[in-house]
Amino acid sequence: MSSVELTEYLNTHGQLVQALEGLSDEQLKWKAEPANWSVTEVLAHLADHSIVVSFRIRDILADTKVQLPAFNQDAWVNGQHSNQGKATDSLELFRSLLHYNSLLLGRLSAAEWEKSGINVKGDTVRIADIVRSFTAHVQTHLAQIERIKQGAEAGLSAQQATL
């Protein structure tokens, strides 16, 4: 794992903060359809994903040799009533876990970065792969946030025009 990749990992929080700049609570909670996620729900999912990734990394380092856990992201978001929460709370948990994990990752030897576990698909994944995948996952959701923001702007404007 290179220092550039670790920097990209750490930069994900700043990218999320930037993506949320200027959004009202109404925009953060706006949904195109009931089954779609709001920005607040995307952030809750990323906080949940951070929890799961944190566990996976630690489980690999502990040499438990059990299959790494998966999670049902939609059920987690819905079960927590995530859209009733605050985007800032999810973002703070995300930041805290990112920082805490970066301290752990900074202590790892080159050999530990190569330690691996088996994911739910049966694939072997190294800690380095998990960190890279996490960063890419956040990028996917940043794009999703942009689409939601555009939809919210159009949807809320249309709603105000009919009033």
pLDDT digits (tens), the chain, 163 positions = 777 789 999 999 999 999 999 999 999 999 999 999 999 999 999 999 999 999 999 999 999 988 999 999 999 999 999 999 999 999 999 999 999 999 999 999 999 999 999 999 999 999 999 999 999 999 999 999 999 999 998 876 666 666 5
Q: Kindly report the three-state secondary structure assignment for every residue of 70-124.
A: CCCHHHHHHHCCHHHCCHHHHHHHHHHHHHHHHHHHHHCCHHHHCCEEECCCCCE
Q: Kindly report the three-state secondary structure assignment for every residue of 16-71.
A: HHHHHCCCCHHHHHCCCCCCCCCHHHHHHHHHHHHHHHHHHHHHHHCCCCCCCCCC
| Predicted confidence (pLDDT) per residue in 77-116, tens digit | 999 999 999 999 999 999 999 999 999 999 999 999 999 9
Q: What pLDDT score does 114 carry?
A: 95
